[in-house]
Amino acid sequence: MNKTVYLSEYIHPEAVALLKEHCTVVSTFDQIEAVDAIILRNITVTREMMQQAKKLKVIAKHGVGCNTIDLAAAKELGKTVLYTPTTNINSVAEMVVGLILNLYRHISVANAGVRNDEYKTIAPPALIGNEIAGKTVALIGIGNINRKLASILQNGFGVRLNAFDPYLAGEQAERLGMKKCATLQEAIGDADIVTISVPLTEGTKNLLAGPVFDSFKPSAILINTARGGIVNEDDLYDALVNKKIRAAACDVFQLEPPARDNKLLSLPGFCATPHIGGSTEEALYRTGLEVVRETISVLEGNSPQHPAI
């Protein structure tokens, strides 16, 4: 198969090796008209690029969110868009648990304090934390990741679960051990922990913004490992400053990685990570091999296992 695939971002070395066994791999668009497929993690794929790439057949997302791809243009121009929605479920769900524990137990704050010689006694009162056990968790979006997270939190910590997802039927929620909430505000209202797992679309942009923060308990914490733009960062800053919520952790931002002048980074009750939810050896291996195998398969004339449109 004499096909050319554009790849400029890191994917697992074994996936790259497999791709090179079947295709010519390029890392620039200097000859975009010769490209048969694009494999991406974070780059933007525009209508103009698709129109220039006359041979382009496949746009393959290494991961879940396809918000950097002009899906409407891809559909109109007959491009196959595929993604890998199941390969990083464990890693992102575990990351959420880690961020909850970090906020509840002040782990990164304690580490910095020890390194700065701030503590003159063990177990300083300023580092008294909370247990996850028995808390109420609001799951915003009940897709693969939050279902996995729900299982971890139920079985490991005995939490109660509120679920907000317009596509979740009441009987499904009951079967999953969740309370189905009719509104976002209802799900958040009595939650100790709120975690987001929805795609970034026109419908979810600024989903958590403005008056929504009035629905939080002042003791609640917020975790966003979904996409930047779902949480309005200015409004989150105001909510933290005005103590509408206690703390927050974001693995995703509108500008990635977040710049030093992002005002959220000035707040002691905020934890930031640079979009590493799916960055484990295991997830990158699974995702890399799947996206390469699927790209090759579609280039050979087969239908994708996970079409995005």
- The contacts found for 99-102 with CB under 8 angstroms, 24 or more apart, are 99/223, 99/225, 99/249, 99/251, 99/271, 99/273, 100/132, 100/193, 100/195, 100/221, 100/223, 100/249, 101/132, 102/249, 102/271
Residue 271: closest CA among 109, 132, 110, 140: 109
What distance in Å separates the CA atoms of residue 292 and residue 142, rounded to the nearest whole number? 27
CATH (domain of 17): 3.40.50.720
Please report, as a single letter, which amino acid is at residue 231.
V
Strand-pairing partners, residue 4, are: 24
The pLDDT of residue 1 is: 74
The pLDDT of residue 128 is: 97
309 lies in some domain = no
26 lies in some domain = yes
What distance in Å separates the CA atoms of residue 117 and residue 130, rounded to the nearest whole number? 24
266 lies in some domain = yes
44 lies in some domain = yes
Q: Are residues 145 and 187 in the same domain?
A: yes
CB 194 within 8 A of CB 166: no
Q: Are residues 131 and 262 in the same domain?
A: yes
Give me the domain span that covers residue 235: 89-272
The pLDDT of residue 238 is: 98
Consecutive sets of 10 residues in the chain, 309 residues long: mean pLDDT of each? 94 98 96 97 96 97 94 97 97 98 97 96 96 98 96 98 95 95 97 96 95 97 97 98 98 94 96 96 98 98 96
Q: Residue 183: phi, psi to the nearest 5? A: -130, 160
How buried is residue 97: exposed, middle or buried, by Cβ count under 10 Å (0-12/13-18/19+)? middle
To 5 degrees, how large is the angle CA 199–CA 204–CA 208?
Answer: 115
Residues designated as active site: 227, 256, 275
Indicate the number of domains in the chain: 2
Q: Are residues 196 and 100 in the same domain?
A: yes
- Pull the structure tokens for residue 140: 């915003």
Q: Are residues 45 and 125 in the same domain?
A: no
Please report, as a single letter, which amino acid is at residue 133.
A
